């Protein structure tokens, strides 16, 4: 159960950024995993290499990814969306960006697995029934707090309201005076920033390496499909459902071999056959 | 007018540069050696250490005038291809090598890639040096593959025996990633452990390579309380996380692997929790390393910014190819001559102190000499560095 909460909170954060970008721009951002990896490497560089306090390093990951996201939206996605009505154009662009970021990560940060010193030492052990290192508990709490802060931002701030309006009906939002170009860029930057934040948080637990981007994107897509593409609450549900399925599968099914992901994929296929729009999505998109 | 002069000057400079470059390049004929392996994705570290070792050594050779084979001095050019750990790409890479007329290729890095390229290599007279363990690649009738390192079925039993004799290990558990290489390494490790009389208490737990939390993966294994936990075929990316999780879950037994690891990666990813971790080291230790090995490390570091301990082993394949060609110059275009020379080939090992020799081995494992001889160095990690546990030889 505890592992499910821990995995679910980090997965939900990864899925949130992806679903936000999809909701705002109808773009499947295949480079989301690479943005997560860059976030991890930035925290690694500031905290692990230069000894900057962890919170500041995390902040730098957020800022870096927000800038990267804004630039990618402004100079790559926005022109393509304006110039082409075909969805595959943005998909191809996203895939190209993923490859580009992979190459840049290799060039700048190298091929090795990287890790940082633990932010908190010690292990919580409740009579050997519940064992969890304190740093995981802290990261889990920080992830949940970040999710709450994100929801609050979307619900109660002017920017959040504009983003939600944009996600619901782009044309109507424009007619109501929302600066679509500006808020598309802000939304993309926010989505990328979330990827950077979770990358920065998780580098303290899992470390980071060049190859983590692709698998992270795939998992994020799974969560988004479970919860419903473009729906914030769906991403959170999707993240926690996948986290719990993985934790329970590994705990109770490992004796039968590595069938956890097999079952997760089969369940996902059956689920999507019954409810293709996902848990919280609408059939009309 | 001024603009026209500028264009003329630029064209002249470009022409001179091109001719200059050609002239410089044409000083020595070029000998192309291929590399087909994984240089992207989660296992990139394996292939990149190969590629960079070859490039660093080739640059060094070229800088010092080239490499003389049969009275002709060659510049060495490394032609690389990233197979992305995909057998289909590995085949494409080997076909590219064939199209370029290359007869000697280092790689691929993994079992399925090495098996996939075999027909292409054999059809196009290519000798290749994989870092993959399937015995059928190196046993007759196969003859074009040469194992570039120590196989897990050679190092594993040596490690288990040492731990049984010196540490009183009686029970062992295995964990492997759900991929072909780690699973086959686990299976051969289990067989070797049983043959030695160890009790295998867990051998069916696997994990995805992109696992971010190993606590639920390890919990069922650690309940069996093994004396030794073997991380079969573990990649440098997963090893620190597994070590950290195992120790945080309270595991106090020994942990080992038969793959090479990097001390810096372990220090960063697991810190003191990696202390006592046993792995197969690169084929060098401070005591074994010759001045030439130390210079290689310096050159590699200055060229790429950071050394990779795996390159202690990866440096050898290119050296074996060149030294064998030097001993048998006609083999430069004749792979059969190369193969014929392997049984009797012997040359001084420039990377080790003493009278160590470069020679092909593998009679015990493969029935023919299709493995390069590098020392089996078993390391134990302690406080940020590897300490040599024991050194053995493989035939």
pLDDT digits (tens, 9 = 90+) for A208-252: 988 888 888 988 888 988 988 888 888 899 999 998 888 888 778
> With b meaning 16 or more CB within 10 Å and e meaning fewer, what string describes B308-345?
bbbbbbbbbbbbbbbbbbebbeebbeebeebbebbeeb
Query: Which residue in B has a C-alpha nearest to residue A252's C-alpha?
Result: B220
Task: Band the pLDDT of A284: cuts 50, 70, 90.
Answer: low
Q: Which of A254, A256, A261 to mutate to test the interface with B (most CBs of B within 10 A)?
A: A254
| Same domain assignment for residues B205 and B266 | yes
Mark yes or no for CB contact B268/A207 under 8 Å. yes
Rounded to a whole number of angstroms, the distance from the CA of B167 to the nearest CA of chain A is 27
Domain boundary among B282, B309, B326: B282
- Give the per-residue pLDDT at A283: 62
| Same domain assignment for residues B264 and B305 | no
CB pairs under 8 A between A and B: 116
pLDDT digits (tens, 9 = 90+) for A70-105: 999 999 999 998 888 787 888 899 999 999 998 899
Domain boundaries, chain A: 2-210
Does the beta carbon of B208 lie under 8 angstroms from any beta carbon of chain A?
A: yes
Residue B35 lies in a domain: yes
| Same domain assignment for residues B263 and B306 | no
The CATH code of the domain that includes B267 is: 3.40.50.2300
Rounded to a whole number of angstroms, the distance from the CA of B3 to the nearest CA of chain A is 33
Q: Which of B37, B39, B41, B242 to mutate to test the interface with A (most CBs of A within 10 A)?
A: B41
| Same domain assignment for residues B39 and B138 | yes
Chain B residues in contact with A101 by the CB 8 A cut-off are: none
Mark yes or no for CB contact B40/A7 under 8 Å. no
| Same domain assignment for residues B277 and B156 | yes
Query: Which residue in A has a C-alpha nearest to residue B305's C-alpha?
Result: A110
- Give the per-residue pLDDT at A176: 86
Does the beta carbon of B207 lie under 8 angstroms from any beta carbon of chain A?
A: yes
Closest CA to B328 of B98, B142, B127: B127
Mean pLDDT along residues A32-52 = 95
Chain B residues in contact with A219 by the CB 8 A cut-off are: 210
| Same domain assignment for residues B261 and B309 | no
Does the beta carbon of B209 lie under 8 angstroms from any beta carbon of chain A?
A: yes
| Same domain assignment for residues B192 and B164 | yes
Does the beta carbon of B308 lie under 8 angstroms from any beta carbon of chain A?
A: yes
- Give the per-residue pLDDT at B138: 97
Task: Write the residue in A3, A116, A261 that is nearest to B216 by C-beta.
Answer: A3
| Domain of B190, in residue numbers | 152-282
Residue B23 lies in a domain: no
Residue B78 lies in a domain: yes
Q: Which of A250, A259, A264 to mutate to test the interface with B (most CBs of B within 10 A)?
A: A250
Rounded to a whole number of angstroms, the distance from the CA of B101 to the nearest CA of chain A is 29
Chain A residues in contact with B270 by the CB 8 A cut-off are: 115
- Give the per-residue pLDDT at B1: 39
Residue B17 lies in a domain: no
Mark yes or no for CB contact B44/A123 under 8 Å. no
Which tokens is A151 given?
């929801």
Rounded to a whole number of angstroms, the distance from the CA of B109 to the nearest CA of chain A is 15
3-state secondary structure chain B: CHHHHHHHHHHHHHHHHHHHHHHHHCCCCEEEEEEEECCCCCCHHHHHHHHHHHHHHHHHHHHCCCEEECCEEEEEEEEEEECCCCHHHHHHHHHHHHHCCCCEEECCCCHHHHHHHHHHHHHCCCEEECCCCCHHHCCCCCCCECECCCCHHHHHHHHHHHHHHHHCCCEEEEEEECCHHHHHHHHHHHHHHHHHCCEEEEEEEEECCCCCCCHHHHHHHHCCCCCEEEEECCCCCCHHHHHHHHHHCCCCCEEECCCCCCHHHHHHHHHHHHCCCEEECCCCCCCCECHHHHHHHHHHHHHHCCCCCCHHHHHHHHHHHHHHHHHCHHHHCCHHHHHHHHCCCCEECCCECCCCEECEECHHHHCCCCEECCCEEEEEEECCEEEEEEEECCC
Which tokens is A73 given?
């939206």
Query: Which residue in A has a C-alpha nearest to residue B272's C-alpha?
Result: A117
CA A148 to chain centre: 15
Task: Write the residue in B39, B240, B305 that is nearest to A115 by C-beta.
Answer: B240
Tell me the average pLDDT of chain A. 88
Mark yes or no for CB contact B213/A205 under 8 Å. yes
- Give the per-residue pLDDT at A130: 77
Rounded to a whole number of angstroms, the distance from the CA of A207 to the nearest CA of chain B is 6
Chain A residues in contact with B205 by the CB 8 A cut-off are: 254-255
Q: What total number of domains does chain B contain?
A: 2
Burial of B166 from C-beta contacts in 10 A (0-12 / 13-18 / 19+)? exposed
| Same domain assignment for residues B144 and B53 | yes
Domain boundary among B264, B282, B300: B282
Which tokens is A70 given?
């804004």
| Same domain assignment for residues B109 and B221 | no
| Same domain assignment for residues B158 and B245 | yes
Does the beta carbon of B219 lie under 8 angstroms from any beta carbon of chain A?
A: yes
| Same domain assignment for residues B115 and B189 | no
Residue B21 lies in a domain: no
| Same domain assignment for residues B295 and B313 | yes
Query: Which residue in B has a C-alpha nearest to residue A243's C-alpha?
Result: B213
pLDDT in tens, chain B (395 residues): 344 444 444 444 444 444 444 444 457 999 999 999 998 876 788 899 999 999 999 999 999 999 999 999 999 999 999 998 899 999 999 999 999 999 999 999 998 999 999 999 999 999 999 999 899 999 999 999 999 999 988 999 999 999 999 999 999 999 999 888 899 889 999 999 999 999 999 998 888 877 877 888 888 888 899 999 999 989 888 899 899 989 988 899 999 998 888 888 899 888 899 999 999 877 677 788 899 999 999 999 999 988 888 888 899 999 999 999 999 999 999 999 999 999 999 999 999 988 889 999 999 999 999 999 988 889 899 999 888 898 888 77
């Amino acid at each position: 159960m505890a592992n499910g909460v821990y995995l679910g909170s980090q997965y939900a954060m990864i899925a949130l950024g992806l679903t936000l970008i999809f909701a705002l721009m109808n773009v499947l951002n295949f480079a989301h995993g690479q943005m997560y990896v860059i976030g991890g490497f930035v925290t690694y560089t500031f905290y692990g290499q230069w000894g900057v306090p962890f919170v500041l390093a995390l902040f730098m990951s957020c800022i870096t990814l927000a800038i990267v996201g804004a630039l990618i939206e402004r100079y790559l996605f926005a022109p393509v969306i304006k110039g082409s009505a075909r969805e595959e154009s943005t998909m191809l662009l996203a895939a190209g960006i993923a490859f580009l970021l992979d190459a840049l990560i290799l060039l700048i940060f190298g091929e090795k697995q990287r890790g940082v010193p633990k932010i908190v030492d010690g292990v919580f052990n409740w009579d050997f029934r519940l064992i969890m290192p304190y740093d995981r508990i802290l990261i889990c709490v920080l992830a949940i707090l970040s999710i709450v802060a994100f929801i609050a931002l979307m619900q109660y701030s002017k920017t959040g309201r504009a983003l939600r309006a944009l996600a619901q009906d782009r044309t109507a939002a424009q007619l109501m005076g929302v600066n679509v170009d500006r808020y598309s860029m802000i939304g993309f930057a926010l989505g990328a920033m979330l990827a950077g934040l979770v990358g920065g948080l998780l580098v303290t637990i899992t470390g980071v390496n060049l190859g983590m981007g692709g698998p992270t994107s795939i998992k994020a897509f799974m969560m988004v499909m479970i919860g419903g593409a473009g729906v914030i609450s769906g991403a959170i549900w999707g993240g926690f459902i996948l986290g719990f399925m993985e934790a329970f599968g590994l705990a109770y099914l490992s004796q039968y071999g590595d069938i956890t992901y097999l079952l997760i994929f089969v369940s996902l296929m059956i689920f999507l056959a019954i409810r293709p729009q996902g848990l919280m999505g609408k059939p009309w998109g | 007018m001024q603009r026209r002069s500028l264009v003329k000057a630029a064209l002249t400079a470009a022409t001179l540069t091109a001719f200059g470059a050609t002239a410089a390049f044409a000083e020595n004929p070029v000998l192309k050696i291929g590399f087909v392996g994984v240089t992207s994705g989660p296992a990139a570290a394996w292939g990149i250490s190969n590629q960079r070792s070859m490039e660093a050594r080739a640059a060094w050779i070229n800088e010092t005038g080239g490499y003389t084979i049969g009275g002709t001095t060659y510049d060495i050019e490394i032609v690389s291809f990233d197979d992305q750990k995909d057998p289909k790409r590995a085949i494409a890479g080997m076909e590219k090598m064939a199209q370029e007329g290359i007869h000697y290729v280092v790689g691929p890095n993994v079992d399925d890639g090495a098996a996939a390229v075999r027909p292409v290599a054999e059809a196009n007279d290519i000798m290749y040096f994989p870092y993959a363990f399937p015995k059928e690649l190196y046993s007759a009738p196969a003859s074009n593959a040469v194992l570039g390192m120590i196989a897990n079925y050679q190092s594993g039993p040596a490690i288990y025996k040492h731990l049984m004799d010196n540490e009183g290990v009686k029970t062992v558990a295995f964990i492997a990633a759900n991929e072909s290489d780690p699973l086959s390494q686990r299976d051969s490790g289990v067989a070797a452990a049983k043959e030695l009389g160890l009790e295998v208490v867990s051998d069916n737990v696997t994990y995805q390579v992109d696992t971010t939390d190993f606590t639920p993966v390890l919990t069922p294994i650690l309940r069996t309380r093994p004396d030794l936990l073997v991380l079969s075929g573990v990649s440098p990316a997963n090893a620190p996380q597994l070590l950290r999780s195992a120790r945080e879950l309270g595991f106090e037994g020994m942990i080992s692997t038969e793959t090479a690891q990097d001390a810096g990666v372990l220090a960063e990813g697991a810190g003191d929790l990696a202390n006592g971790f046993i792995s197969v080291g690169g084929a060098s230790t401070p005591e074994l390393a010759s001045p030439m090995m130390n210079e290689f490390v310096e050159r590699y570091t200055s060229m790429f910014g950071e050394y990779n301990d795996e390159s202690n082993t990866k440096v050898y394949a290119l050296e074996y190819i060149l030294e064998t060609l030097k001993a048998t110059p006609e083999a430069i275009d004749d792979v059969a001559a190369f193969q014929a020379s392997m049984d009797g080939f012997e040359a001084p090992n420039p990377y080790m102190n003493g009278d160590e020799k470069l020679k092909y081995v593998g009679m015990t494992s493969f029935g023919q000499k299709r493995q390069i001889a590098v020392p089996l160095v078993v390391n134990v990690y302690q406080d940020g560095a590897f300490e040599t546990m024991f050194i053995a030889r493989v035939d």
